[in-house]
Every structure is written in structure tokens, then in C-alpha cells.
Amino acid sequence: MTSQRKPVVIVTGASKGIGLAVTRILLESLGSIVVAISRTRTPEIVQLLKTHASTFFSIECSVTDTTGLTQAIESVQKAHKHIDGLILNAGVMEPLGRIDSADVDSWKSHFDVNFFSLLTALKTCLPALRKSEFGGKIVFVSSGAAVGGTAAWGAYNASKAAMNSLCRTLAQEEPDVVSIALRPGMVDTGMQETLRSTGAAHMKEQDHARFTEAYSSGKLVKPEDSGHVIAALAVKADKSLSGQFVSWDSEQCADYRRT
């Protein structure tokens, strides 16, 4: 028998970009209860709190604060009695630069955000996800960088590759939870703006030109497009996708794209 309650979905890094788009879609198109976890409460989040007062909740917390993130997730379980979906979207690109001049502490800080925070969230959410009558879902917001090797992106390439590996392993360990790593494409977000404005100082000329050309020619993906796939996977992903790294515009995700 299908549950009549709304699925409860946690979204990290929900205050802007892909995370904000995903949050809106979950609320407005997929009938979910959404708990946003982000470092700041942006005007967009404040507006969503007003328009979706009974189904949207916001917790201000850095994902690198292990105690704070654990307590935030535990509070979701206590308040809503369920956690059905987890979207691990929070992430950073910095530092940019060659490996031969890498600042090790900066790389460690990067991994605190892009990788170790995932472990905190997973350890805290998994007991509830295993029990979800919808079938627990986890979407890791990954990147083509996970399988690429763009110069000057060493930390980002490595952390996204580690994310994908974590997703694959989790799928083997947790057969009752669907775990998917998704490549959202070259999305029109603040991260792209940063690459265009500061990337030239670190990246190969041809690599930087690829991003500036994608922007100027209107080829960047809208956050709402790949965001719809992420949101839909978080509530209705098929078990056959578990452990896979898929692109938002792939055939495997055709049923989850907006029409």
C-alpha cells in the first residue's frame, strides 16, 4: 500500500544555485516536505519559508560542523518522524591551482566540505532512510570532474571522484537505500561565474575558454533543468540506478526530467 504522507527530504547547500532550484521543485512540483541545511538564510529561503510555511523548514549550519550537522539531522527525524530522501549538494570548487604549488591545508578544508561532510550526513541519516516506506533515496550531486582531469582543479577532481566511490560502496552496503551520483552538467550558477572571473589565472587557456564560450553562447544548463532530475530522483529513483554515476540528460534519467 502506498503511503499517503508527504516524503521528507533534506537538501544541503540549499540557499542558492542548484540546491535552491531543487528545493523549489520538491516543494512546488513534487509535494514534499523539505528541510534545507545551509550556512546562510538567503532572501530566497526566507521567501520560501513564507510561501510554504507548513512544508518548508530551514536550518542554518555549516556542513563542516560535525556536531551541528548531526544535531540538525537528528532534529529533522525528531520533528517529522521520517527521513525519506537526502540530497548532498553542498560543495566548493576552491582551491584552484597546480598540484606542485598546492596548499595542503586548503585541500584538507576542501575535503571537509566536499567529502567528509558526506560521511557525517550519511551516518546520521541512514537509520531513518533504511526504514522509509517510500524506499530511502540519496542523491550525491557530483560532477564530470569526477572522471575528468582539468588542470588546476586537483582538489575538486579528487573530491568528486571520492564522492562517486563512496556512492558505489554505499550501494553495495545498503541494499534498501538507493544511492545515485549525478552529473548536473555545466550549470548556470555562481560557481560558473567564479570560474569565468578568476579561473584564467590558474587554468589552461583552452579550458577557461570552454567555460566562457558556453556562457556567451547560452549553452549553460538551467539550474531548474538538472535540478528537476535531482529532485525527482530523491523521491522516486528506481533501485536499478543505485551505485551508478549518471548524467542528468542521459537516457537513464529520461523519466526524471521535467516535461
Amino acid present at 20 = L
Residue 215 is among the residues annotated as catalytic for this protein = no
Residue 142 is among the residues annotated as catalytic for this protein = yes
Residue tagged active-site, from 6, 15, 38, 160:
160
Residue 156 is among the residues annotated as catalytic for this protein = yes
Residue tagged active-site, from 15, 32, 58, 142:
142
Residue tagged active-site, from 32, 137, 156, 256:
156
Active centre residues (catalytic): 142, 156, 160
